Every structure is written in structure tokens, then in C-alpha cells.
Amino acid sequence: MKEAKASLAFLCSLLESLGVAGVTPDLLRQAKSNAPCAAIKLWRPLHDLVCLHLCCFPCQEDHRELEGFQEIWRSSGVFPGDHGDGIVGFVKFYVALWGYPPSSRFFGLPIDTRESRELLLALGWLLSHCDVFLRGIEARSREISSAIASSSIAAPFPPLPRDVATLAGSRAREVELGVEELVSKVLHSAAQRDREAREGFLADHLLLLHGRIGVILKSIHSLQAWRFRRIHELNQLQLEAIRQKIQHRLYTQFELHLLQDPEAARDHQRVLEAQRQLRSELASFQKHEENFWNWMADENDDEIATPARSLKQEPSSCCGVSQEELIPVIQFLKDPKDQCGVSPVPSEILAVLAPALTTTNHASCSSKKRGDDRAAFGRLRDAGFKYQPSSKLTTIDQSIQR
């Protein structure tokens, strides 16, 4: 019961976040009990769901496009008076267009109907047809992804730190830009007329750049050798720990890079936490969806005022007779009869079948009073709203058609 309450509250908050207002757990429970006061309040979520599905469920920033519909609802108490019949017809048209069973009593309900359970069944069908829970998962995934994108990293895993090739390339580009700027200054200087002075200046500058490049290459070589030495020392320490039977695994190269860059490690941890949160949200959505459909299918709930029953089912005359007692009766009716219409069975078997025959109004041996087998099998049919989570759409349709 607690799980059903939590799932109903979760569904109501999910619908509100998607743009469907007016759905509360109390309203759903009242509709399941077929309370007349809940019927008029269910037209609004039905209308909002149809509108959102037609708009492909816009994100939160685009909800201002639906302000016109919300303004209509706010203009009156529970339902717009002048536009009520038109909006009800609008809802019925698209629900029928999307495949709602045409034999349902929903299409014959007026705006002031008191059949709230029929509207609840239509709402449940719309929730399944529109994939509301899947829409909620997608919306939540977009929120988490936007939070990740707003951070300092844009990829699920941070890239490796800049290697020596990247350092060398960036420094070479900086030197090239500096040389171009210096050459431009020399060419436009006052010494432009003195060709020899200009050439000597350029030669000296080239020698200076050659020396700087040599120093940079030596520093790159030294940095690379230092990194290789440090990696070798770390590997040796880990191998020594394994030889000493210390319970500690070897760090991968990626983990060593993360340990070398604390900022990248923090970003990496933040991304992993967001992915873990998304998996938890997905499991929560699936659990609440299953609980909701189980609650919709539970006909033994104490809150249900009138259990669902097939409209074609007639009142059974087999009160007090179990299925086990009816099976031998049906077999008795199938046995070949003699000329008097009496089955050639021993008297002790008839004595066993006597209570069942009396209860089912089979006191006479006449074949007219016995009825056919189809009527007997019809009495064995279970009535009620049976539901399996794996086939929620089919079961809801069958329950509505009853």
C-alpha cells in the first residue's frame, strides 16, 4: 500500500513537470472508487495529455506555447463552460484516432458525467500510449546531461593530459607567430633602406631562434625521460606490493594520469556521479511504473467501491457451487443417455452429484432443464479487471470492452 501511494505521488509530480496539471493521488483514488466528484476533474489531464502528445512533449523552455490552454482552464472553475463540449469532443476525437476501443462507454460520456472510473481508464490508456514514464526519463536525462555539459568537460571521460607532442606543437606555433610579427616589424621599420643591416638583423634573429628551439627540445626530452622514469618507478612499486601480498590492484595508465591531474580527477568523479544518478533514476522510474499498473489492475483493493464486472455476464445460478463440483456435472451431461433420458451411471455416483445437481436447478432429468455445455462453461468464467504489467495496453482494452 505504501509503495502504491509513493508511486501515485511520483506519477502526479511527473505529470506536473511535463505540463499536465490537476492530477493528485486523492483524485486517482477517488476515480478508482468511481466517485462522482472526481469525474469533472479528470477532463483537464486528459485534455492536457492530448495537447502535449500533439506537440511532441516540448521541453520546459517551450511550455510557454501551451499557456493558451492553461489560460482557458484558469478562466473558469473546473472546466470552461462555453468550450466544454468542444474540448470533450476534441479529446474523444484524438483518443479514438490513436486506437482507443470504440466500444468503450467513454465515448458516450457527457461533460457532466459521474462515471469517473471510465475516465480513469482512458487516462491510464493515454499514459501508456504517450509513454509518459519514458518521457520523464528522457527529460531527467536531459537535465543531468545539461549539468554535465555546463561543467569544464564536455566528454563522458576527460582526455589525457597534454603529451609532449602537443606541448612541442603548441610552442612551435607560438614561436612561428612571434617570428612573423618580428619580421613584419623589421620590414616596416626605418632600416628598410639599409638592406645589409636588415639581413644581418634577420640572421642574428634566426640564430637566436635556433638556440631557443634547441633548449626547448632538450627540455622536452628531459620531461619525457622524467615521465618514463616515474612510470617505471610506479610500476615497480606496484609489483613489489604484489610480491609482498599486499591487497592492492595495479593502477591503469588512465588512473595514473587522473592522479597526476587533480582537476581532471574531480571532473571525472563528477561525471561518474551523474551517470550513477541517471541509472538510479531509471530504476526508480521503472519501479514506480510497475507499481502504478499493479495498482490500476488490483481489483481487490479496499478503496474500490464496485468491482469491475463483464457487462455480458448474467447473474450466476450456481451460488455455493465450486468449479470442482461443476466439472463432474458437465461430464454427467455429456454422457450418452438411454431412451428414458437417464445416464447409465451407478447410483453411488448420482448420490455424490446430487448436491451439485440440486444447486444448479437440475432436479429433472429432462434435457431441456439441463441446458447446454456452453452455459455451464460460461458460469466458470472469472469476472473482474485482470492485469499483467507486460501487457498493460491489451489488458486495459479488454477491461474497457467488457
Burial of 211 (0-12, 13-18, 19+ CB in 10 A): exposed
* This prediction's pTM: 0.48
Give per-residue pLDDT as tens, 141-186: 877 777 666 555 444 444 444 444 445 556 666 667 777 776 676 6
Give per-residue pLDDT as tens, 371-392: 444 443 343 333 333 444 444 5
DSSP state of 65: G
Q: How confident is the model at residue 123 (pLDDT cuts 50, 70, 90)?
A: very high
d(CA 19, CA 332): 62
Residue 224: is its pLDDT beyond 70?
A: yes
How is 320-342 classified by DSSP, letter by letter? T--HHHHHHHHHHHHS---TTS-
Q: How confident is the model at residue 126 (pLDDT cuts 50, 70, 90)?
A: very high
CA distances from 193 to 188, 197, 198, 307 (A): 10, 9, 8, 106
Residue 99: is its pLDDT beyond 80?
A: yes
d(CA 224, CA 218): 10
What integer pLDDT is reported at residue 17 of this predicted model? 85
**Of residues 395, 344, 388, the one with CA closest to residue 365:** 344
